[in-house]
Structure 1
Amino acid sequence: MTHGGRISRRTVLRGLGTVVSLPFLEAMRPQLLANAAAAAGQAASPRRLAFIYVPNGAIMDDWTPTSEGAGFELPAILQPLAPYRDEMLVLSELTCDKARPNGDGAGDHARASSAFLTGCQARKTAGANFRSGISADQVVATRLGDRTRLSSLELGIERYRGTGNCDSGYSCVYEHTMSWRSSTSPLPNEVDPRLVFERLFSDQSNDPGRLKRNRLRASVLDAVIADARGLEGRLGGADRQKLDQYLTCVRELELRIARAESLPPIQPPAGAVRPESVPADLAEHFHLMCDLMVLAFQTDVTRVATCMFGREGSELRYKMVGVSEGHHELTHHRGDPDKIDKVRSINTFHIQQFAYLIGKLKSIPEGEGTLLDNCMIAYGSGNSDGNRHTHDNLPILVAGKGGGSLKTGRHIRFPKETPVNNLWLSLLDRMGARLEQLGDSTGHLEGLA
């Protein structure tokens, strides 16, 4: 669809059972700027918000910068983020109080992930009467979801389990998701890159047989190539190059997913179950899920996403960094230097995956800057010290400038016991989804702008 020679931001390429959304093109800019002028201060490019969850806390002595402000030095665990130091905020002394027992006894892991984005105390039950609260990501999905094809995207690395007792009388649902549509409606994570890819590119208006057709087709791009060629004739040289690079990226991602599916599975540790179609290589699995999130943001298929780099209480084994023991087991190190070193290696591996995601977002031009400039990517855990199960002074980062609304490149230390939900409220403000309270929040954070 065009408007006076311009291309609508909602233009897509269509084919049999397939719809391919487009990245931001210069031909879309006049329309966006006109819309912005008509809407008092609205940014030309949409803002995106993501929450990355890491389980079991961190070795905080090697996470927290020793100095505050713009001159801080990156500690050991955060070293992989050195190229993006000026693109992020390190935020200290934020607390997830509702991850604490508060009279409910053991179950810190279940409470940590369920309270991280909700700020609500999980009902202690192993049955189907679980209860938490609406999560920050779903506030955005509810308010802004009608502007995109998908209201939100929930990703993960470990298979979702929504029944049974997983932590001292708490339902498994609490450990296995961070997104809650309502206090009684948890949203499962999708861990299969193929299914995420199909969700991003399947035509939701078609009949239920569309996924079968998609699997039989060699590529989503084969279905839309005629539409793509027709569009190229209406684009300038720079836009044609950007479109070609984007479609090449989609093709390469599709091939990587197929290649990952073809590798022989690695024997999982005792008690661990992984879906048959996820990559055998754990690092490649992380990269594919990050790439899919980037693709969803680049094409404006959704503006809010979550990704759990592991469920709370995770016992994933990170053999690629020399760790053969389970993650959760190691976090109860009781001061053992060897175990602490291994947990540090896992923490650093997770930060490396986050750096990969940030690098991909920064590599994509959008408007006068990059896709990262229009994002707010929050990273953290509902646990701080995994050995003692503490929930104050959480390991929290935010990368991206939020369309110019965040002043990055700083370490900020807030007053002790500041609710982490105060941060989420402040990010919701910047998404145009303002709330006065979310869970146990006490106000909006000062000093981020």
Structure 2
Amino acid sequence: MNRRFVLRAAGASLLLPMLEAMLPRRGEADESKFQPWERCDVKHPRLICCYIPNGVNIAEWVPKDAGESYTLSPTLQALAGIRDEFTVLSGLGHPQSEGGHSGADTWLTGANLKSKPGSDYTNSISVDQIIAAAHAKATRYPSLQLSDLSGTGSAGHSHTLSFDRNGTPLPSENSPRRLFERLFVPENAADRAAALRRYTQRRSILDEISAEAKALDKKLGTDDKKKLDEYYTSVRETEQLVGRLQGWIDVPKPKVPETNLGLNMQPANAHDRPMWLDVMLQLSYLSFVTDTTRVITFEWSREAGGFGGGGENHHELSHHDGSPEKLKKLAEIDKFHLGRLERFVKLLAATQEAESRMLDRTMIVFGSGMNSGTGTGDHSPKNLPLLLAGGKALGLKHGRHLAFDPDKHPPLSNALLTLLQKAGVETEKFSDASGTLQGLV
């Protein structure tokens, strides 16, 4: 039944509430007719990080054996068709994290949010933003932030996975149509003139702020000077961003038709949910194939939220208290998410890029910043569910399960440091990494 079904009689109408008959049936999301492009004309490393909240049914997720000949777990059977395109990582975690519903805040930073005395929340730069800075000059957008809730959210319940060098969250977009228009709809003359006026005004304000900051610096103590320097660094980065935007104003946007894109899908609607995930991933694919950006973070739902393919309450099920029924439903949501991931991987694999496939230069990180556990459903930052896909042409090896001892708590930052290097960033350090991750390359 259509979710907009209306009862009409004698000139009056009544919009029905959400009924079970309006929820999507299994396979309804197969209606997408979006087709991948034949070729990608650019040849560069890319990164997309896809986050699922609330952890997973870890007992059904982690394979029982390790190595190249491992047996897919019951949940990961959903990815049997692309087994050779991904690696399962288990036993990794964030030693500095306290777990709970701040998992998304620290997933790509590895930060200790309470590291600063007197502050309840202090984050650090996320791995995607380091890669974005390295590739920023070549693309219209250094990075994109996507989520099912727009904006930044609140500390510990962020609507974004991306944080700048000062630990400031970068706002996310949740509307497929707004995202499509931002990326691919050309501006007319009036739009361009208005944009240039905004950029000029921002530059004027930034110039004034810079002058005031320099004058103030002479009057401050050591700690305040440090704070002001962080602020001034943000001002300089904003200046650079405004300059980049001005430089792209006369560069035409890629011509991308909206054919077969469900741009009106809504993330919080139970009927739309599978198709909303698909279209946001399709727009991510189009952003990559047109080289509009090379770095994307996508929070599929914020912590303490989320839905299954039929509108199930993901967060409620993650507090399963060991209930077999809830754990079964949680595993079904995990498989639903993996089904969306598989579609995205196949889009990238179907597009030729130079001598290989687009997938082979696109690194995909998929997982969660918490472990819902096998007991009562506690939200631990240990033994995080994690998959890495793509990037074979960059040196990543797949078709294996890399199992680490969760009690020794190897840092997830080791894997993130490896991806930093494969994306072309020359560094030996990231967050609390003790080195690159053995077995991934």
TM-score by length of 2: 0.71
Q: Give the secondary-structure state (helix, strand or coil) at the position aligned to 2:47.
A: strand
Is the contact between residue 47 and residue 403 of structure 1 (CA under 8 Å) also seen in structure 2? no
Q: Give the secondary-structure state (helix, strand or coil) at the position aligned to 1:85.
A: helix
Q: Give the secondary-structure state (helix, strand or coil) at the position aligned to 1:358.
A: helix
Is the contact between residue 87 and residue 400 of structure 1 (CA under 8 Å) also seen in structure 2? yes
* Inter-CA distance 73–128: structure 2 relative to 1 (3 Å threshold): same
Q: Give the secondary-structure state (helix, strand or coil) at the position aligned to 2:122.
A: coil
**What letter is aligned with 1:343?**
L
1:114-193 map, 5 Å:
114-123=105-114, 130-160=121-151, 162-163=153-154, 171=155, 174-193=157-176
2:350 corresponds to which residue? 363
Q: 1:88 aligns with which of 86, 105, 114?
A: 86
Gaps of 5+ in 2: 1-36, 196-251
Q: 1:391 aligns with which of 381, 389, 397?
A: 381
Report Cα offsets for 1:178-208 as digits up to 9, x if no partner.
1101234201111000111112114589664
1:432 corresponds to which residue? 424
Is the contact between residue 50 and residue 377 of structure 1 (CA under 8 Å) also seen in structure 2? yes
**Residue 124 of structure 1: CA displacement?**
9.2
Q: 1:24 aligns with which of 16, 40, 47?
A: 40
Whole-Å separation in 2 of the counterparts to 1:55 and 1:135: 18
Whole-Å separation in 2 of the counterparts to 1:123 and 1:183: 15
Report Cα offsets for 1:216-259 as digits up to 9, x if no partner.
xxxxxxxxxxx99xxxxxxxxxxxxxxxxx97x734145x32xx
Is the contact between residue 392 and residue 417 of structure 1 (CA under 8 Å) also seen in structure 2? yes
Percent of paired sites with the same residue: 33
1:410 matched to 2:390? The reply is no
**What letter is aligned with 1:369?**
S
RMSD, aligned CA: 3.1
* Inter-CA distance 114–335: structure 2 relative to 1 (3 Å threshold): same
* Inter-CA distance 313–432: structure 2 relative to 1 (3 Å threshold): same
Q: 1:252 aligns with which of 254, 259, 262?
A: 259
Report Cα offsets for 1:383-404 as digits up to 9, x if no partner.
0125111111111101113424
Whole-Å separation in 2 of the counterparts to 1:206 and 1:284: 34
Q: Give the secondary-structure state (helix, strand or coil) at the position aligned to 1:392.
A: coil
Is the contact between residue 117 and residue 179 of structure 1 (CA under 8 Å) also seen in structure 2? yes
Whole-Å separation in 1 of the counterparts to 2:187 and 2:387: 35
Whole-Å separation in 1 of the counterparts to 2:193 and 2:328: 48
TM-score by length of 1: 0.70
Is the contact between residue 39 and residue 351 of structure 2 (CA under 8 Å) also seen in structure 1? no
Q: Give the secondary-structure state (helix, strand or coil) at the position aligned to 1:250.
A: coil
Whole-Å separation in 2 of the counterparts to 1:439 and 1:155: 23
* Inter-CA distance 208–97: structure 2 relative to 1 (3 Å threshold): farther
Q: 2:324 aligns with which of 319, 337, 345?
A: 337
**Residue 279 of structure 1: CA displacement?**
9.5
Report Cα offsets for 1:152-174 as digits up to 9, x if no partner.
011112344534xxxxxxx35x4
- Highest CA radius of gyration, 1 or 2? 2
Equivalenced residue count is 343
* Inter-CA distance 389–251: structure 2 relative to 1 (3 Å threshold): closer
Q: Give the secondary-structure state (helix, strand or coil) at the position aligned to 1:418.
A: coil
Q: Give the secondary-structure state (helix, strand or coil) at the position aligned to 1:307.
A: strand
Gaps of 5+ in 1: 1-20, 29-44, 102-107, 164-170, 213-226, 229-245, 266-272
